[in-house]
Structure 1
Amino acid sequence: MSELRHRLRTTFRWLGDRTDPDFRADVTGWWRDADILGGMGAALSRLFPDEEPTVVMGTQSRGSLLGVLCAQHLGVGFAEVRKNPGCAADSDAWWQVTTAPDYRDEHLELGVRRNLLRSGDTVLFVDDWAATGAQATASRTLVQMSGAKWCGAAVVVDGLESSAVRRDLNLRSLLHVRDL
């Protein structure tokens, strides 16, 4: 795990100057490194050793990438949370929710197809970064709407300023933003 954390730190970079309004994180180096990709599913899964998820959930796009790696490691399925979902037909049933403001102070519409989450499922949420916790919190609401159980949120980077949100989501991470 310490080797993976080291590789995550060395392949990460900040873009821009901290005083620049476009200052942001660049995690694309993670996707280029086969060793990181090979270890990410297991590392995120190990953040919840006492849980037995029956499905992994993640928001498009990075949460979907990481969520599939985690689900594959756990031997369970994956439920993608779509941003601004649109029904393909009247029979295309979704649970939908609006997020609280995210790190860009925007509200997003998130949705998951109803056939992907079932009452009795235990859901592990996976994403690359938690800044405000808005998407994870909205995803937990989707889990509750389905009757499934939320076991927690596994993220690569914890950038939450609120320890109350961290506790409420049962959020665990591989790195904290101050490590970067």
Structure 2
Amino acid sequence: MPDLLTRLRVGFHWRGGPDVAFADITEWWRDPVVLRDLPPALAALFEAAPTVVLGPASRGTLLGALVAAHLGVGLVEVRKNDRVAEHSPFHIGRDVPRQMSLSFRRALVRPHDRVLCVDDWVESGAQALAIRDMVDEIGAEWLGLACVVDDLQGRDDVRRRLDARALLSAEGLIDVEVSPRPEG
């Protein structure tokens, strides 16, 4: 039976055409072995034990919930463009590039918390940096960003600030599929 990293590579595909390519990871969620093995693998990227996991909507929330359940801690969903948060003193939020805002309920992350952020893919790091800023404002301890794929090419400063750790790099996925597969 293939190991987790092999299963992640096999279940990954670049889709689209020459002008626009996008990462398709939907096969990961269909593989029960990936669902079973991914949470402990992401949690193992950090030695420190978090008291809470933050997961940005939507796939970060899915992965965050799996990692939080594995660790026996709670999950805080980081919402995107939440209209309620815009007008609520009970939420903390940040605007990020591309007309997006992120927020979560302030009371769900406490100053004594050790926070692990979990996501599927980190590209620019803008969302994770905004989440880290919110965690810092609350006074909680940022442990780092655990993600499946690191695509922070040439952004070592962002990787260091986030303490971003990943199971795979995007560069390593480029050659996974050398010829297009027929859709089906």
Q: Compute the TM-score of the two structures, normalised by the length of structure 1.
A: 0.90
Corresponding position of 2:160: 167
Deviation at 1:146, TM superposition (A): 1.6
* Distance of aligned partners of 1:30 and 1:96 in 2 relative to their CA distance in 1, 3 Å threshold: same
Corresponding position of 1:65: 62
Instruction: Spell out the pairing of 1:107-126 with structure 2 (5 A cutoff).
Output: 107-126=99-118
Deviation at 1:142, TM superposition (A): 1.3
Map Cα deviations across residues 86-143 of structure 1 (whole Å, 9 max, x no partner). Answer: 22897771001011x3xxxx13100011121001100000000000001110110111
User: In structure 2, how many angstroms separate the alpha carbons of the residues matched to 1:137 and 1:169?
Assistant: 7
Would the aligned equivalents of 2:85 and 2:91 in 1 still touch at CA under 8 Å?
no
Unaligned runs of 5+ in 1: none
Map Cα deviations across residues 59-107 of structure 1 (whole Å, 9 max, x no partner). Answer: 00000000000001111000110001122897771001011x3xxxx13
Report the AA paired with residue 87 of structure 1. Answer: V
Aligned length: 171
Map Cα deviations across residues 43-64 of structure 1 (whole Å, 9 max, x no partner). Answer: 1000002x11000001000000
User: In structure 1, how many angstroms separate the alpha carbons of the residues matched to 2:56 and 2:113?
Assistant: 18
Choose the corresponding residue for 2:124, options 132, 135, 151: 132
Choose the corresponding residue for 2:29, options 11, 31, 41: 31
Unaligned runs of 5+ in 2: 174-184
Deviation at 1:178, TM superposition (A): 1.3
Report the AA paired with residue 166 of structure 2. Answer: S
Larger radius of gyration: 2
Corresponding position of 1:149: 141
Corresponding position of 2:92: 95
2:83 partner SS: coil
User: In structure 1, how many angstroms separate the alpha carbons of the residues matched to 2:46 and 2:110?
Assistant: 21
Deviation at 1:144, TM superposition (A): 1.2
Corresponding position of 2:178: none
User: In structure 2, how many angstroms separate the alpha carbons of the residues matched to 1:82 and 1:136?
Assistant: 12
Report the AA paired with residue 160 of structure 2. Answer: R
Identical columns (%):
48
Report the AA paired with residue 28 of structure 2. Answer: W
* Distance of aligned partners of 1:57 and 1:89 in 2 relative to their CA distance in 1, 3 Å threshold: closer
Would the aligned equivalents of 1:95 and 1:145 in 2 still touch at CA under 8 Å?
no
2:144 partner SS: strand
Report the AA paired with residue 108 of structure 1. Answer: M
Q: Compute the TM-score of the two structures, normalised by the length of structure 2.
A: 0.88
Corresponding position of 2:46: 48
Report the AA paired with residue 47 of structure 1. Answer: L
User: In structure 2, how many angstroms separate the alpha carbons of the residues matched to 1:20 and 1:65?
Assistant: 30
Corresponding position of 2:172: 179
